A and B are shown apart, each in its own frame.
Chain A
Amino acid sequence: MFLQLFFIYCALMIVASGVLAISLRNPVHCVLMVLVLFFHMAGLYLTLNAEFLAAVQIIVYAGAVLVLYLFVLFLVNLREELHIDAFIPSPWLGRGIATGLALALLAVLPSFTPGSKGQWSVEAVREMTHTVVMGQEMYSTYLLPFEIAGLILLVALLGGLVLARREENSFEALTKEAISSGCACTQSKEVSQ
């Protein structure tokens, strides 16, 4: 009973904060709404006995990823809103498509059936604690996929480093150009005056 109430509360909050995150005007408020959303996602994981996932959800998504989003928002500092022409001309067409998609999703929902049960029953997981079970499975049965995922992340990290390096070089080249062309900044100042 309590679990069900908790689930309903989390689900409602996820939907509400998700809608607010895309409808609020201030980007920082939007990020805060996403923070609330992540919190309730962690709550949902807790109802599934996945406490490790819940903690990682908060540490990684709320603690690191979202903070970096905030950082970008602060550094970009949008003073005025950008207005872009809508992809779909009439808003009602978009709303119609969205409703259609939602209805299709609801229609498919009854055909959902849980898959076959693995060797870890809920009791076995609870006895050994979720974190231990997950670690054992990940580093024995699923070692290869885990390593592949690690490699892909490493490639992304190196890619980021390479991109950052290149920018630094081009900045040096730019400053050299500026020096060789005889202080471009004073010229532009004169033009603006």
Chain B
Amino acid sequence: MNIIMLLVWILILFAVVMLHVAYATYFERKIIGHMQVRVGPMRVGWHGLLQPIADGVKSFFKEDIIPENADKPTFLAAPIICLVAMMTSLAVLPFAKGWVLADIDIGLLFIFAMSSLASYGVVLAGWASNSKYSFLGGLRSMAQVISYEISMGLSLVGVMLMAGSLNLTQIVEAQGDSFLGMYLMPQCIGFFVFFISMLAETNRVPFDLPEAETELVSGYSTEYSGMRYAIFFMAEYIGMMVMASIATICYLGGWNGPFEVALFPPFWFVLKVYLFMFLFIWIRATLPRYRYDQLMDLGWKLLIPLALANIVLTACFRAILA
């Protein structure tokens, strides 16, 4: 019985997240459209509301092309590795009090482990496609993810120190439900580092070098088509959502808000996650792309020292106050 309930919960979460991914693309196209004084998708449904469904149906019926000299098993497995790694990290996210599939003690580490696995999907896609554009995109993505994973992990150590736990539910509860309890203010350096690393981890503008259209066509996903391309797309948007959720949980107090919404407990959580999603899109609409050496300099010479300093500072304050 317990297992059946768990399966039902997993199915609900899966359906909700998939709908979210579909409408996040709509959200992005509409916002960028309005920021660039266009209207965005308008044709399918009222104000283009059915556009994501149409896109999904289209990509589902497109031909699935596999390049002749591709390494077939790896080529087929790469998008699945990406999606599975991203989907797995959804299991430990607490959407509201008690609204979590697996409340494990190493929640934060689990998310790191899964996001580092997702980079395998990208790099294997680049290698297996047997195309120069894909390969360069894969290599860039790998170097970028390794570098920024370090600064992201280090920036969250401050949060771990303050909450005294790796369990995501306990991190939210340690922040309390007051405005000043949020770790955004005491951990402002950590949040700064985390936010930039978050953009780089999800390969978003201004760090979208792995799929820089002007130089690499479409990067690691150049040779993919149809449903497999759509899977990469889904993995990217789920990755954005996971990162936004981590930022919400660790810095913005998770599901706590000014007042409780009894009908829908994750109300504030969803609102904060969408705030971050909006930031992602806003940055995409405004900032130009970094150069590769600037990207590496920023990661290794600025963010990692800052994150280390943040750990020392937080630990000192903890030692003095405790």
**Is B142's CB under 8 angstroms from A55's CB?**
no
Is A71 an interface position by the 8 A CB rule?
yes
Which of these, A35, A51, A67, contacts B104 with CB under 8 Å? A51
Residue B146, interface by CB 8 Å? yes
Indicate whether A52 reaches chain B with its CB closer than 8 angstroms: yes
A26, A64, A70, A71: residue with the most chain B Cβ atoms closer than 10 Å: A70
- On chain B, the residues within 8 Å of A35 by CB distance are 120
**Across the interface, do B146 and A52 meet the contact criterion of CB distance under 8 Å?**
no
Question: Does A13 belong to the interface (CB within 8 Å)?
Answer: no
A160-193 interface bits toward B, Cβ cutoff 8 Å, 1 = contact, 0 = none:
0000000000000000000000000000000000
Bound-state CA distance A68–B112 (Å) is: 17
Question: By the criterion CB–CB under 8 Å, are B142 and A131 in contact?
Answer: no
Residue in A35, A54, A55 whose Cβ sees the most chain B Cβ within 10 Å: A55
Q: Is the interface of B mostly helix, strand, loop or mixed?
A: helix
Contacting A at CB under 8 A, from B106-123, are 106, 109-110, 112-113, 116-117, 119-120, 123
Known: A28-B74, A59-B112. A71 touches B117 (CB 8 A): no
Q: A67 contacts B119, CB within 8 Å?
A: yes
Asked if A136 is at the interface of the complex by the 8 Å CB criterion, the answer is no
The answer to whether A63 touches B149, judged by C-beta atoms less than 8 angstroms apart, is yes
A59 touches B116 (CB 8 A): yes
Contact B106 A67 (CB under 8 A): no
Q: Which of B105, B117, B127, B149 has a CB less than 8 Å from the CB of A58? A: B117
- Residue B83 is within 8 A (CB to CB) of chain A in the complex: no
* A67 to B149 CA separation, bound complex (whole angstroms): 13
Beta-carbon nearest neighbor of B115 in chain A: A63
Q: Which residues of A contact B120 (CB under 8 A)?
A: 35, 67
- B164 (CB) vs chain A CBs: closest residue: A132
Chain B residues with CB under 8 A of A74:
127, 135, 139
Residue contact B113 to A67, C-beta cutoff 8 Å: no
Known A28-B74, A64-B146: A51·B113 in contact at CB below 8 Å: no
Q: What are the residues of chain A within 8 A of B139 when measuring CB–CB?
A: 71, 74
How distant is A84 from chain B, measured CB to nearest CB, in Å? 25
Chain A interface size, under 10 / 10 to 19 / 20 to 34 / 35 or more: 20 to 34
The CA of A67 and the CA of B117, in the complex, are separated in Å by 10
Q: Closest CB of chain A to B268's CB: distance in Å?
A: 28
Are A51 and B105 neighbours in the complex by a CB distance under 8 Å?
yes
Contacts of A41 in B (CB 8 A): none
**Is A55's CB under 8 angstroms from B110's CB?**
yes
Shortest distance between the CB of A129 and any CB in chain B (Å): 5
Whether A28 and B127, one on each chain, are in contact in the complex, defined by CB atoms closer than 8 angstroms, is yes
Contacts of B24 in A (CB 8 A): none
- Rounded to whole angstroms, the CA-CA distance of A70 and B104 in the bound complex is 31
Contact call B109/A52, Cβ cutoff below 8 A: yes
Chain B residues, CB < 8 A from A58 = 113, 116-117
How far apart sit A32 and B123, CA to CA, in the bound complex (Å)? 12
B142 A70 Cβ-Cβ under 8 A: yes
Interface flags for A49-67 (1: CB within 8 Å of B; 0: not) read 0011011101100111001
1/0 per residue, CB under 8 A from B, across A100-142: the answer is: 0000000000000000000000000000011100000000000
| CB-defined A-B contacts under 8 Å, sample of 5 | A28-B71, A58-B116, A59-B109, A63-B112, A131-B166
Residues of A within 8 A of B (CB): 26, 28-29, 32, 35, 51-52, 54-56, 58-59, 62-64, 67-68, 70-71, 74, 129-131
Not counting A59-B153, A63-B116, A131-B106, a sample of 18 additional A-B residue pairs whose C-beta atoms are within 8 angstroms of each other reads A26-B71, A28-B124, A32-B124, A51-B106, A52-B106, A55-B110, A55-B112, A59-B112, A59-B116, A62-B116, A62-B117, A63-B113, A64-B116, A70-B123, A71-B139, A74-B135, A74-B139, A131-B166
